[in-house]
């Protein structure tokens, strides 16, 4: 198991007795339970990986799921041919694809969030203004009443936001627009983040006041203070927030489902499309191939940035 060597080395502090017989039995019990939990957690992913390599006609290997010898990429090929996961580069202008849509709205959200969250955190950490405390509580309330609950009001707001329903006459704005079914529409409700504001405020409060005062004495304007005094020591918080934000929005399902219909559908909609195939008999290998295609970037990113990921999730206190 990946974490047992880490935990055993972590316990070997210089003053502790050497490893071996002097270890209390409870240590081995804890390690054993951890290993068991790890194995339990790993089984679905390994199962999905193996089944995704089965041919679509024989998805469960006739009962021999783990050791059946027929492994092909046919399921992945069929899955990508059934749903537009990747842009079709053989065409002159590649059409809409799930990957491009997901990347578009996740990165758009991230970029806007980083700006708004930094500025809001800066305002709450640096300035004193009337009702600051209550305004901050008000923002924190958004952490408890999440965007998903405001599904219907948000949907109506964005659905109505088009030239047709706003009734803008042609001579004022010639170009017609419709926000519905665009990556911007998916990203809009997430442009502000209470959680990020909170995280950045805490990080900025950790910056010594003396440094800020020194900056003020040297004639810094607020953007200088933010850029050169507040931000450099707060970068770990910002990175943590970015990782949590990307992994959360990558897996977002309900909001993209209602606010897109065709062009802007992200990856999770692709998975939903495959689960609908199950009424003609469970196409497990196709569903699992689609799952792996969707989860692969995050899984790979997790393997590469494992330490960073765990630290940021610990740091930010999210699941």
Partner 1 sequence: MSALTKTLLVIAIIGAFQTIDHALVMTYELVTGEADLLLYAIYEERFMLQNYGFANALTVIMITLLLGLTIVNFLISERNDA
- Name the one range near partner 1 by CB under 8 A: 6-14, 27-35, 222-230, 270-278: 270-278
According to the binding rule CB under 8 A, does residue 179 interact with partner 1?
no
- Name the one range near partner 1 by CB under 8 A: 93-101, 118-126, 224-232, 269-277: 269-277
CB of 279: closest distance to partner 1 in angstroms? 7
Q: How far apart are CA 158 and CA 189, in angstroms?
A: 10
According to the binding rule CB under 8 A, does residue 261 interact with partner 1?
no
- Name the one range near partner 1 by CB under 8 A: 37-45, 197-205, 275-283, 305-313: 275-283
According to the binding rule CB under 8 A, does residue 123 interact with partner 1?
no
Q: How far apart are CA 3 and CA 83, in angstroms?
A: 37
Of 258, 277, 298, 301, the one binding partner 1 by CB under 8 A: 258
CB 162 within 8 A of CB 240: no
Q: Measured from the CB atom, is 95 or 153 closer to partner 1?
A: 153
Q: Measured from the CB atom, is 154 or 234 closer to partner 1?
A: 154
Binding residues for partner 1, total number by CB under 8 A: 22
Of 11, 39, 214, 253, the one binding partner 1 by CB under 8 A: 253
- Name the one range near partner 1 by CB under 8 A: 54-62, 104-112, 250-258, 293-301: 250-258
CB of 199: closest distance to partner 1 in angstroms? 15
CB of 69: closest distance to partner 1 in angstroms? 31
- With b for 16 or more beta-carbon neighbours within 10 A and e for fewer, the 11-25 pattern comes to eeeeeeeeeeeeeee
CB of 75: closest distance to partner 1 in angstroms? 19
Q: Measured from the CB atom, is 168 or 258 closer to partner 1?
A: 258
Within positions 141 to 170, which residues make up the interface with partner 1, using CB under 8 A? 141, 144-146, 148-153, 155
Which of 302, 292, 317 minimizes the C-alpha distance to 48?
Answer: 292
Of 276, 280, 281, 307, the one binding partner 1 by CB under 8 A: 276
CB of 148: closest distance to partner 1 in angstroms? 5
Chain residues in the site for partner 1 (CB under 8 A): 141, 144-146, 148-153, 155, 251, 253-254, 257-258, 271-272, 275-276, 279, 319
């Amino acid at each position: 198991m990946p974490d047992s060597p880490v935990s055993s080395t972590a316990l070997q502090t210089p003053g502790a007795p050497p490893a071996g017989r002097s270890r209390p039995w409870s240590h081995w019990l804890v390690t054993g339970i951890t290993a068991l939990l790890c194995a339990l957690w790993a089984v679905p992913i390994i199962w999905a990986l193996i089944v995704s390599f089965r041919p679509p006609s024989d998805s469960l290997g006739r009962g021999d799921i783990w050791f059946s010898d027929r492994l092909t990429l046919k399921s992945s090929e069929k899955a990508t041919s059934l749903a537009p996961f990747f842009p079709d580069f053989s065409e002159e202008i590649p059409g809409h694809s799930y990957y491009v849509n997901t990347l578009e709205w996740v990165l758009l959200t991230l970029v806007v969030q980083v700006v708004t969250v930094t500025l809001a955190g800066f305002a709450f950490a640096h300035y004193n203004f009337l009702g600051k405390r209550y305004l901050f509580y008000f923002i924190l309330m958004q952490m408890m009443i999440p965007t998903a609950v405001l599904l219907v009001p948000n949907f109506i707001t964005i659905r109505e936001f088009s030239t047709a329903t706003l009734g803008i006459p042609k001579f004022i704005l010639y170009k017609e627009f419709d926000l519905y079914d665009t990556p911007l529409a998916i990203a809009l409700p997430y442009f502000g983040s209470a959680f990020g504001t909170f995280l950045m405020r805490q990080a900025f409060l950790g910056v010594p006041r003396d440094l800020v005062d020194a900056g003020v004495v040297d004639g810094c304007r607020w953007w200088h203070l933010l850029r050169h005094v507040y931000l450099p020591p707060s970068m770990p918080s910002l990175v943590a927030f970015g990782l949590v934000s990307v992994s959360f929005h990558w897996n977002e399902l309900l909001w993209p489902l209602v606010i897109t219909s065709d062009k802007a559908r992200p990856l999770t909609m692709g998975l939903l499309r495959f689960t609908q195939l199950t009424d003609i008999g469970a196409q497990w290998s196709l569903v699992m191939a689609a799952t792996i295609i969707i989860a692969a970037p995050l899984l790979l990113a997790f393997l590469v940035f494992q330490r960073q990921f765990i630290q940021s999730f610990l740091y930010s206190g999210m699941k």
